[in-house]
Structures are given as structure tokens and as C-alpha cells.
Amino acid sequence: MNAAIWAHPWDIIDEGTEAVADRLLDIGITEVNLATTMHSVQTLNPHNPERKTFFADASAYFQPNESRYGELVPDVNETMGDADWLAEISVGLETTALSLNSWTVPFHSSKQGRRHPQTTLENPFGDSLVWGLCPSNPDVQEYGTTLVTELADRGDVDGIEMELADFQYGTGYGWHHQEFFTHLGDLGELLFGLCFCEHCRANARRADVDIEAARESARKGLEMRFEGQIGSQTDIAGWLAEHPSLARYVDIRKDVVTDLFDDFDEQMGSTPFGYYLKMGGLGDDRMGVEHSWKHGLDLDALSEPLDYVTVLAYHSDPTVVRDDVRTARSLIDVPVNVGLLAGHPIVDSRAALVAQAEAAAEAGAEKLSFYGYGVVPERNLEWIRAAIDAADRI
């Protein structure tokens, strides 16, 4: 079975591309998913010889051709400076047996959001959600399309794998020192993150949706949840059925994402196009793949532009990993890979990671992808070796 590993460029640059390639090939890795554009992050780097932590705003790890872009241009990582880490790593891997994929996170960018608030998601109360760019916005669409076009044209990578190039979800995927002391529940999360920017409203207007009724339903639902007048476990489908304008408003987002992915696919040409199904957080905070519609994803329609998907099955229970793979295979007609977090807080032993890999292989996963090279201890790399070996025996 093919196996990939996610990696941040600073870990490969600091350790040396040749040394990293030798180590990865030795444990059975065949592909590297390299961060080329990423959200803001602080990483703990247990086996990095130069630094044990790395801070970065949302940024790019290559030198973009700025003349190709419009309103939004990739922000070059400040630590990288004038270097081009993507190019350096690509050249370093040319003589190895490792394939290189671009791990591309285009729309989860608080730095872009702060600089261009008019392009962000706008919640039902009119607040700018600065961590997320809205896929309905023409400037955002141009940015995403130009980004994948440039990455494909550069020739550094063998495939492009995208993450959060959709409407994201709820209160988002992290912000500095969040103070959320109200439990929104599933319904509240969905309503809080619904975008009512001018472009999303225009899409709804063209579909004859009563926009004001939809927005008022979302606001009222949130206010009732704030005051405990509806429960945290309120059935979303049932509640939306009672608010048909809002239900239609939620549904039309899928057409926006599908059309955008068609554009991505066209611009990538022959470069393989993969997508990460990221449903919530880690462990018990995650949602099943069947909730992908909350991100605006229509998995059946996305079978056309996508070449494969990777389910980020970050859960300690192997049966949940198995179910995620099986569910994804039932919902989309492309190969399904699985992403496994090879460390804390999901797994704490070789046996635990092996059990997850076996469950994924038994469920029909085509490839194992492990998170992540620089952020887990060296001993966990041996766990990855054992997991790959176990999956190969299935």
C-alpha cells in the first residue's frame, strides 16, 4: 500500500532533504505532502536539529509570481524570506523515489482576512470571520484558481492536495486564545459560520431564496441557543425543515464549491487533484464524513473534478476510522485515502496506530497518509513503519 506523510518545509530544510528522504523511504513512505500555503501555526518539532518550535502567520512557502494574481496575493513566509523552500525541496527529491504533493490551504488565512476583510465569511450578525475567505467572493475565487494554476505550472510537485477550500464550519479551526464559554452545539456551530456576505446573498437571490427570512432564522436560532431556549443536541435536519428559506440558503452553497472545484481541475490540467475531508476537530470533536455538506461539499458532484479524497480520520477508536473510510467510499466515486494522526492526542502506542492502519486498509482505503513528519517524536516514525507493514498484510 502506498503511504504518504505530511511535512512542514522548515523541518525538511533544517534536517536536510537527502537525510529526510533516506529516513522516509526506510520506513516505507512513498510520498511527501508538503505545506506550500498554510494557516497560522505554532509547531513543536521534537527531532528538528535547528529549532524545537516554529511560529508562522498564514503564509506561502514558495515565491509566487505576483503579477499573476489580483486583489489577493500569497503572503511569503517571513522566516523563509527570499528563499523558495518548495523549489529547494523539490530539487532535493528529484533523484529519490519519493513523490512530492502540494499540501495547499488557500482560504483558511487570518492574515489575508485581516488585510482584506471584504473577502471574508460574514456571519448572520454581520461579523467578519477573519480566519476564513468566502468561496463565493470573486476575488477569493480568482486567488484560489491562480494559486493552483501557478503550483501546477511550476512543475515542482506531482499532485495538488487541497484543504479547506470550502465554506469551512462554525466557529472555525482556531484563533488566538479563543474565549468561547457558550456551548453552541451542532446547530449553533452551523448557524454561526453561515456566510451572508454580498456574494453569498447574490447567489441566494438568483435562486429565489428569501434572504432576509433565512438570515433572521439563523440569527434567531443562535440567540435562542445563547439563552438555552433550544438544546445543544437539537436535530439539525429537523430544525432546517422548519425553516425552509434557511435550508435552501444552506443547500445552494454546494453549487458554489462544485463550480469552483471544476475551475481548479481545469486549471490544474493533468496534475492530480486531491481534497482533504476535514470534518471538525480531533477525537470526539470530529464529525463523520456524512456531515461534509456543512462545509458546502456535495461529494457526489465532486466525483467529477476530484481524482481522490483523503479522509482525515483523527480519532482514537479504530472502528470510527473504519466507518469514516466506508462512508466516504459510499458517498464519492473516486479513490478514498485515509489520514491518520501518528501521535498525541490520538494515539499513544505503536499498537494503537497499527490498529488504525489495519482498520483503514480493511475498509478499502487506497493509501495511508500520516501526520506528520516533524511534529511527532522519532519513536513515532517507527510506529508508522509498523502501521504500513500491518496494512500491507491486509
pLDDT digits (tens, 9 = 90+) for 23-81: 999 999 999 999 999 999 999 999 999 999 999 999 999 999 999 999 999 999 999 99
pLDDT tens digit sequence for 360-375: 999 999 999 999 999 9
- Asked if 173 and 109 touch (Cβ cutoff 8 Å), the reply is no
Q: Is the pLDDT of residue 166 over 70?
A: yes
**158: Cβ contacts below 8 Å, ≥ 6 apart:** 31, 99, 100, 101, 271, 272
CA distance 245 to 218: 10
Percent of the chain whose predicted confidence (pLDDT) is above 70: 98
- Asked if 167 and 195 touch (Cβ cutoff 8 Å), the reply is yes
pLDDT tens digit sequence for 178-203: 888 899 999 999 999 999 999 999 99
State the first-to-last Cα distance of the chain, in angstroms, to the nearest integer: 10
Q: What is the pLDDT of residue 177?
A: 75
Q: Is the pLDDT of residue 248 over 70?
A: yes
Closest CA to 86 of 166, 12, 190, 4: 12
The single residue listed with the C-alpha cell 505530511 is: 6
The single residue listed with the C-alpha cell 491486509 is: 394
Q: What is the pLDDT of residue 283?
A: 62
The single residue listed with the C-alpha cell 425552509 is: 244
Q: Is the pLDDT of residue 5 over 90?
A: yes
CA distance 218 to 212: 10
Q: What is the pLDDT of residue 287?
A: 82
Region 247-254: mean pLDDT is 98
What is the three-state SS of the chain?
CEEEEEECHHHHHHHCHHHHHHHHHHHCCCEEEEEEEECCEEEECCCCCCCCEEEECCEECCCCCHHHCCCCCCCECCCCCCCCHHHHHHHHHCCCCCEEEEEECCCCCHHHHHHCHHHEEECCCCCEEEEEECCCCHHHHHHHHHHHHHHHHHCCCCEEEECCCCCCCCCCCCCCCCCCCCCCHHHHHHHHHCCCCHHHHHHHHHCCCCHHHHHHHHHHHHHHHHCCCCCCCCCHHHHHHCCHHHHHHHHHHHHHHHHHHHHHHHHHCCCCEEEEECCECCHHHECCHHHHHHHCCCCCHHHCCCCEEEEECCCCCHHHHHHHHHHHHHHCCCCEEEEEECCCCCCCCHHHHHHHHHHHHHCCCCEEEEECCCCCCHHHHHHHHHHHHHHHCC
Q: Is the pLDDT of residue 107 over 80?
A: yes
The count of residues in the chain is 394
Instruction: Label residue 394 by pLDDT band (50, 70, 90).
Output: very high
According to DSSP H, which parts of 70-158 are helical?
85-93, 110-115, 138-154
CA distance 227 to 123: 19
- Asked if 151 and 160 touch (Cβ cutoff 8 Å), the reply is yes
Mean pLDDT of the chain: 96
